Structure 1
């Protein structure tokens, strides 16, 4: 997927990721817009990730899924899952009616470690790999 500049509304979401870093710790925040109009039945979504250093080799990771393109709520039963590199599900969260975002429980990762995030709506799913 080609990189696109995010519209103003989506850029503002980047700064609304809720984290609890120590004041002296920098937090890296990133967003990924999924081309879900084709892949998930016209349900736009933005994946937000905040990464906070904890030790020299460990970071805290917070992942949220927000609606995009002016939508207020995520569709009901939109799932966000954290998977190991081998595909084992570590945690899953699912949207209810009128959820304006969903969030995985904060987790820790070693620098250089790989993990996968999966978005699922109905019978359609997208899996993305990440390396810290």
Structure 2
């Protein structure tokens, strides 16, 4: 699933408005309908000002109750981190982006 894929029906890029280790980051969410009536979801976090994400920056997909179903952490030379998963229309999930004590959580509905 590529963010610029022509079949991507929804794409949203959010400046998370926070400095993490001196770096501003943005969250991109892309949704691609699949033939089986589900959707492929792509979450990516990009650095806004620097070439790389801060070491240890975390991206997590969460169930509504806050339990993580997918997590990834930035390494030394990552220019983005991403998660991919499938969901059903009407399904709710949360996205957590954090570094140390700085955390942002966004809520989504497919």
Q: TM-score, with normalisation over the residues of structure 1?
A: 0.74
Counterparts of 1:66-77 in structure 2, within 5 Å, are: 66-69=46-49, 71-77=50-56
CA contact (8 A) 2:21 2:54 kept: no
Aligned match of 1:45 in 7, 14, 25?
A: 25
Cα distance change on mapping 1:91 and 1:107 into 2, 3 Å: same
- For residues 79 and 115 of structure 1, what CA distance do their matches in structure 2 show? 16
Cα distance change on mapping 1:99 and 1:41 into 2, 3 Å: closer
Bigger radius of gyration among the two = 1
CA contact (8 A) 2:44 2:82 kept: yes
More helix by share: 1
Q: Deviations over 1:41-78 (max 9, x none)?
A: 54200111111001474111011100003x10000000
More strand by share: 2
- For residues 93 and 53 of structure 1, what CA distance do their matches in structure 2 show? 24
- For residues 42 and 25 of structure 2, what CA distance do their matches in structure 1 show? 16
SS of residue in 2 equivalent to 1:36? strand
Is 1:32 aligned with 2:11? no
- For residues 53 and 93 of structure 1, what CA distance do their matches in structure 2 show? 24
Higher RCO (Cα < 8 Å, 6 or more apart): 2
Q: TM-score, with normalisation over the residues of structure 2?
A: 0.88
- For residues 3 and 97 of structure 2, what CA distance do their matches in structure 1 show? 22
Count of residues in Structure 1 that have an aligned counterpart in Structure 2:
109
- For residues 56 and 100 of structure 1, what CA distance do their matches in structure 2 show? 32
